[in-house]
Chains A and B, each alone.
Chain A
């Protein structure tokens, strides 16, 4: 799957009659043919969420096109799911009830529910209602609900910000497993360089005002833990690449990213 955003411009109203341009005539190509995970790495407050909401169809653009495999997104028949920052599993429902939420019994057979629960690593927890602060657990449930719709692409809008690193490592393994078993692609928006390196096949670095792609880094070596990244040469080279784009006109500083 190749997802292309062509000359996208988007303004957002910040107060009555005043609009702020968050994306300015921006073009980008996400090539998922050889990558299952692509990360957009950009500083805080740079409109990453807006970009993902545009791709998922939640926001309309002022101008520009979203093209999937050469077709308009709406005509492509592809399903993109947006997974936001906060945990959005329904807190009063159990794992299974969340996955079955607003689905018809015929459309979601028992086997599929079991498969989804095993994919998200929650076997044995079908009847469990997680605590509202179990963010990792609740993220898995949301992921499970997303899988019911057989999506082609899941857009992850910094959902790992409030999850501790040990849980994140587990979740990244779950995501990789889901992708391997189902072929679903993931696009992660983050300001965290380590998260991007741990999960991605490719990292795309964007400036604050989205007008051009600063760089695209293909990660050859795969990491399974933060420890591996910290002790690897790749981290230094990624940071050096980001640093090389940092100047007066770059629209971002290294300190605006997190690790």
Chain B
């Protein structure tokens, strides 16, 4: 984090502290810092927040891992058939359909189908993620990639090796960038499914909190979740720069 960002955040925090701790301590919108602190303790002691957080984070990032490996496995087939009429039709008429389906409906259907299934949230997130990443691996317009094919074919390297060892890695930074852009969205999807399913994760805590209309706890969950997401995002960006230094 840059010093300037740190300064800005600190100033906002101080203003918040002054406003809601001393000037408007009892309002129904923004809890005071003391209330937030007490809510944090309550979350960890009574709601088992640490375990819920672990469950949600696992669901979000395991979904990305699963998506990455599925993409890696199917990448040679995507390349082989992407210009074919069947794949284009499948992509345009079926897979694209999920992009326009409000994910809450999809989530509801899957939860109604499998109410106690622990992996429901993974399925919803994976379908949602796949529809968002659908156009990320488009190759026909990528002239430089076809040139890799041409060169390495003439020097006698097998197509499968060119695809797996060069082309996929060349596309990885784009995929990772998309993941970076949309991981807050996947958090929302997972939280929503957990909220609806009320089995585990931060979403299930929110369900209880929502039932009692506890603004302070909801606010605290929001702050903690946003902070974690923000820090994770910074970490992933650093990781991206380290892994894909060449892109």
CB-based contact B150/A58 at 8 Å:
yes
**Given A91-B247, A92-B246, A102-B161, CB of A58 within 8 Å of CB of B154:** yes
Asked whether A85 is an interface residue with its Cβ less than 8 Å from the other chain, the reply is: yes
For the complex, count residues of B whose C-beta is within 8 A of A. Answer: 20
Within 8 Å by CB of B246, from A80, A102, A132, lies: A132
Asked whether B169 is an interface residue with its Cβ less than 8 Å from the other chain, the reply is: yes
Asked whether B58 is an interface residue with its Cβ less than 8 Å from the other chain, the reply is: no
**Given A92-B246, A102-B157, A129-B246, CB of A82 within 8 Å of CB of B165:** no
Residues of chain B within 8 A (CB-CB) of A82 are 150-151, 154
Kindly specify which of B105-113, B141-149, B202-210 makes contact with the partner chain. B141-149
Complex CA gap A142/B144 in Å reads 14
Residues of chain A within 8 A (CB-CB) of B23 are none
CB-based contact A57/B154 at 8 Å:
yes
The secondary structure that dominates the A interface is: loop
CB-based contact B247/A132 at 8 Å:
yes
The residue among A53, A56, A82, A132 with the most chain B CB atoms within 10 A of its own CB is A82
Residues of chain A within 8 A (CB-CB) of B166 are 90
The residue on B at minimum CB distance from A84 is: B147
Asked whether A149 is an interface residue with its Cβ less than 8 Å from the other chain, the reply is: yes
Interface residues of B in 136-175 (CB under 8 A from A): 143-144, 147-148, 150-157, 161, 165-166, 169-170
B residues contacting A by CB (< 8 A) are 143-144, 147-148, 150-157, 161, 165-166, 169-170, 245-247
A residues contacting B by CB (< 8 A) are 53, 56-58, 80-86, 88, 90-92, 102, 129, 132, 142, 145-146, 148-149
